[in-house]
Structure 1
C-alpha cells in the first residue's frame, strides 16, 4: 500500500463554539475580535458583552462576572467572550461553560512598546512626560513613577498585566516559571501576532473552523508615518524593562511553532497561508473602493471611523458603492471597528436596553439587517 493509504483518515471534527479570547493590547487583537464577532453572528451565538455603557469588560479592573450584560439572567450560557478584560479565571468560569476553549495572542514586546507609546502618548503619565520613545527608554524610571502604576500599565509589561499578573513584579526565575505554567493551564492556545496569518491557520485547525471564518481585513492599525524608529539600544532596553513580557513572548513563541509542527506541518501551513491571502485579496477587491486601508481623514462613512488615540492615525476602510445587500452586509462587518461592532451586537442581543453611547456618529440603520 502507498504511504498515503496507510495514513489514518482524520476524523471529521465539529466546530468549537464556546470560546474565550483574552484580548491583549496592541497585538492585532481588534482584528481577532472582529473575527470572533462575525463568527458569533454567523452561528447565532451569544456574546458576553460589556454591561451598560461599558465598552470593555471592566478593564483595567480585574474581571468580575457582573461586568457582563445580563449575567444574572443568562448565567453560564454565553458562547463567546472577547472584549478587553483583565484575566481572572475564577470569574470568567462563572460566565463561560466548562468546555470553553481559551486562547490569546502575544506580540514581540519590542514593536509592542513602540506601538503602545504612540497610541497611549497622551493618556499614560510615563509617556506624556518624555519627548519620544527612545528618550523614555533611555531612563524609564525617570518617567515611570510607581504611584502612577494604574495609569502606567501600558508603559511596562502590559501583556503580563492583561493576563492578570503584576506588571511591576521582580524578574524572578521561579516566579516567571510559575506564571508561565499557570497560563499554560488556563489557555489552550497562545497565538503570535508577528505571525498573524500563520496564527489564523492554526486557530482554524484547532477550532475546526472554515477558512472563511478566519479571513480578515487588518483593523485598528495605524499609518506608517506615526511609527517611531527604535534605536538598537532602545530595543535591548525593552527586553530588560519589559523582561516579564519578553520571557512570556519567548516561551509562547516557541510553543506556537511546536504546535504548528504537531498540528499542521510547515508545508501545509504555507499552502494554507497562501490560500488565506488569496481569499483575503478577493474579498478586498469585492468590498473596498481603495483596495487598502486609508487614513482617518479619508474615511467617507464616519460610522466606520475607528476610535482615534494619541498621536496615531488609525486607519479604516471605504466600501465600494452599489454593493448588493448581502455583499454590503458581509463587507460592512469585515471593516466595522471594535466599538461600533460591540455597540451593534449589544443592540441586537439586548434590544430592550439603552444603546451604548459612544460619541461616534453611528449610522445604525446602515448596520441593521435588512
Structure 2
C-alpha cells in the first residue's frame, strides 16, 4: 500500500510540475528535491494513522467540568413542543457535546459554531494531537486525544474520526449530547470523488475527462475494497460511523447499524436543511440564536460543481446503497422532529436566523460573498485545499469593522485549521504538510 502511494506521488509530482506551465519546466534537481520532500512528508502522515495504543490506569469519567451558568435568572425554555402553552420551564444550555464530524457534509461550518460556543463558555475540547483528525481512518481511541489521561474531564469532541462508541464514552460525561450531520449520498459521493480523487489510487486508471461518470458506468470493475483510501468512494457515511461500508444492502447488519446509530445520536442534522437543523439543535440543547450564526465554510467554486444528471444520481445512490438507507431513515425522523416543533414556528425561526446571518455578512465580509483562493488576501483566511487543486473558496474580512463586531467577524471567517491552531491544538504534522504543499505551489 505504501509502495503504491510512493509511486503515485512521484509520478503525480513529476507530471504536475513539468506540465503545470508550458515552457516553464522546473529544473530536474528542484523537481527531485521537491518530490522527495513531499513524498517523505506524505509517508510520515500516512504512517501516523497506524494505531499505536498504550494502556493507562482506568478512572471513572467525571461529571461535566463545564462552568454552570448563573441560575438566577435562568433563561426560559419556550422551545419544548410538548409543554403546555402557558407552562414555564427552566432551561440550562447543554455543554457536553459529541459532534460526529462526517466528511463533505458542511461539518466544517458547524465546527466553527462549536468552537465559538466552546470559547464563549470556557469549555474543554478533546482535540487530536499533531493532526486535525483523530488519526482517521483508524478507529477512534481515547489515547489519540491530546493530553489524555484517564479521569480527565472534557466537554466537547468534534474532529474527524472513525466513530468508536465505546472509546468515545471513555472521554466524555455519560449525559453527553450526541449530534451528527448527513448529506444526500449522491451529492456526497460527487463531492468526495472530486475532493479525494487524487489520493485514491483506484481512480488513476479510469480513462477520460469525466472520471466519475466512467466509474459509475461500471463501479465493480474499478473498485477494490482493499485499495488504498477506497473507503472515500463507497458508503463514506457508513464508514465514518465505524461500520462496514462494503456490506450487501440486504445484510441484516445494515439495519442493526442504523438502529445503533439512532439509539446513540439524539439529533441527526441534514445538510440540505442546515438552518432547520440548527433550530432543532437550539431546541435540543437550549442554546440561543446568537450561538447559531454562521458563514458557509469550505464551499467549492461554481466551476467545480455540477448538477448530477438523473441517470448519474440514480447510479450514485445504487452504488452507495447503505448510505442511502441511512439517509432515508434519518430524513424521516428529521421531519418528525420538525412537525413536533411546529412548521410555522420553524419557518419563523429560520427567517430570523437568515436575517441575522445576512446582517453579519454585511458587517463582516468584503463584497458580501466568498471568493476564490487566489483572491484571499490574508494567509490566515486561506482554507485547506485538496492536492493539486484550489477550488475551495474563502473570504476577505472587511477593513475597518467596528470594535463591537471585529472579533466575532474574524472568528466566523477563520478556517478550521487556523482556528484549531488558535485554540492551542498541536498540528505540527498537518502544518508540515501544508508548508510543503505551499512550496510546491499547488
The 1-side partners of 2:225 and 2:135 are apart by: 22
| Paired position in structure 2 for 1:58 | 135
2:51 corresponds in structure 1 to none
1:147 aligns with 2:226: yes
Partner residue in 2 for 1:36:
114
Q: 1:21 to 1:217 in 2, by over 3 A?
A: same
Answer yes or no: is 1:358 the counterpart of 2:435: no
Pick aligned residue for 1:342 from 414, 420, 439 = 420
CA distance in 2, matches of 1:354, 1:259: 38
CA contact (8 A) 1:76 1:94 kept: no
Q: Which runs of 5+ in 2 are unaligned?
A: 1-82, 436-442
- 1:269-284 equivalences under 5 Å are 269-284=346-361
| TM-score under structure 1 length normalisation | 0.90
Asked whether the 8 Å contact 1:118–1:312 carries over to 2, the reply is: no
Distance of aligned partners of 1:125 and 1:322 in 2 relative to their CA distance in 1, 3 Å threshold: same
Alignment of 1:190-205 (within 5 A): 190-205=268-283
Decide which structure has the larger Cα Rg and report it.
2
Q: CA deviation at 1:116?
A: 0.7
Q: TM-score, normalised by structure 2?
A: 0.75
Q: What is the match of residue 138 of structure 1?
A: 217
Stretch moving more, 231-240 or 22-31: 231-240
| Aligned equivalent of 1:368 | none
Rounded Cα–Cα distance in structure 1 between residues aligned with 2:373 and 2:406:
21
Alpha carbons of structure 1 residues 240 and 95: separation in structure 2 relative to 1, 3 Å: same
Instruction: Say if 2:109 and 2:294, in contact at 8 Å, map to a contact too.
Output: yes
Aligned mates of 2:224, 2:92 — CA distance in 1: 50
CA distance in 1, matches of 2:94, 2:101: 18
Q: C-alpha separation between the residues in 2 aligned to 1:248 and 1:210?
A: 30
Per the alignment, in what secondary structure is the counterpart of residue 269 of structure 1?
Answer: helix
Q: Is the 8 A contact 2:247 2:254 kept in 1?
A: no
Count matched residues. Answer: 348
Which residue of the other structure, out of 273, 278, 292, is the alignment partner of 2:369? 292
Q: 1:270 to 1:142 in 2, by over 3 A?
A: same
| 1:72 partner SS | coil
Name which of 277, 283, 291 aligns with 1:213.
291
State the alpha-carbon separation in 2 of the partners of residues 43 and 267 from structure 1. 31
Task: Give 1:294-309 correspondences, 5 Å limit.
Answer: 294-309=371-386
Stretch of structure 1 that moved more, 210-219 or 134-143:
134-143
Structure 1 residues 109-148: Cα deviation after superposition (integer angstroms, max 9, x where no partner) = 0111111111112111233433422111111122211330
Distance in 2 separating the partners of 1:46 and 1:192:
27
Aligned to 1:101: 177
For residues 27-54 of structure 1, what are the alpha-carbon distances to aligned partners after superposition, in whole Å with 9 as ceiling and x for unaligned? Answer: 1111111111110001110111112x12
Partner SS state of residue 170, structure 1: coil
SS of the aligned residue for 1:48 comes to coil
Specify the alignment match of 1:365 in structure 2. none
- Distance, in Å, in 1 between the alignment partners of 2:269 and 2:430 is 32
Give how far 1:354 is off: 8.4
Moved segments of 4+, more than 3 Å: 126-129, 353-357
SS at match of 2:380: helix
CA drift at 1:239: 1.7
Residue pair 1:30, 1:219 contacting (<8 A) in 2 also = yes
Q: What is the RMSD computed on CA atoms of the aligned residues?
A: 1.9
Q: Is the 8 A contact 1:76 1:96 kept in 2?
A: no
Matched, 1:226 2:300: no
Structure 1 residue 231 displacement after superposition: 2.8
Residue-by-residue CA offset, 1:302-328 (whole Å, 9 max, x unaligned): 111000115451010100112244522
* Residues 126 and 143 in structure 1, CA contact (< 8 A), matched pair in contact too: yes
CA deviations on 1:275-301 (whole Å, 9 max, x unpaired) are 000000000111111201111011011
CA contact (8 A) 2:196 2:386 kept: yes
* Residue in structure 2 matching 1:265, options 342, 353, 365: 342
